[in-house]
Amino acid sequence: MIAPVVDLEWWERHQADANVAVADVRWYLDGRSGRAAYEDGHLPGAVFVDLERWLSGEGGPSVGRHPLPEPETFAQGMARSGIGDDTTVVAYDDAGGVIAARLVWMLRATGHEAALLDGGVMAYGGPLERGSGTADRPQAAFTARPWPANRLAGMADAADRENTVIDARDRNRYRGEEDPVDPRPGHIPGAASLP
């Protein structure tokens, strides 16, 4: 099994393997386009995985901004990106891994091999590819699997004082001082800030 985080040397040793895919998962809170950033320059052979389309479902007051998508939606996105049931995925972003980690967790939680690239796109010193490279990887077979209930927490779990709740957002958003997207500023009562 692949470690949850791999370094650039690991990826360089394995990038030519047919069953290894590198996924660019850039997304921006300020509304900039992750796809535009990908097309402007990405790791060689990387596919773009859209957080809004494939890694989250319809948001709303009762489910939050980026709930998990239906398993079939996730499977369709992976298949279209050329990621199959037996593909090992190395994901990256340009935000310290906070966005790409979502894809890594979703894959690992459903029994797939996946890791985060330590240092993200900035770790790569070579020339970046430009344009839409996603079409270079043929569509794959990816089986939809239900989200494992034992790996998910709900509001009752967050309210239970026996559990530790960690808020990984920027400290200003945690304190409720600045929040450009969430309708309610602040954090879950009792949550610890660990950006």
pLDDT confidence of residue 64: 78
List where CATH 3.40.250.10 sits in the chain: 5-147
Report d(CA 174, CA 186) in Å as an integer.
5
DSSP secondary structure letter of residue 42: B
Q: Provide the CATH topology of domain 5-147.
A: Oxidized Rhodanese; domain 1 (3.40.250)
Report the pLDDT averaged over residues 90-113.
Answer: 96
Report the pLDDT averaged over residues 22-34.
Answer: 94
63: pLDDT confidence band, cut at 50, 70 and 90? confident
Asked if the model's pLDDT at residue 117 lies above 80, the reply is: yes
Asked if the model's pLDDT at residue 102 lies above 60, the reply is: yes
Amino acid at position 148, single letter: P
Asked if the model's pLDDT at residue 4 lies above 70, the reply is: yes
Residue carrying structure tokens 């998962």: 25
Strands 47-48 and 20-24: parallel
Model confidence pLDDT, tens digit, residues 120-140: 999 998 899 999 875 567 889
Amino acid at position 173, single letter: R
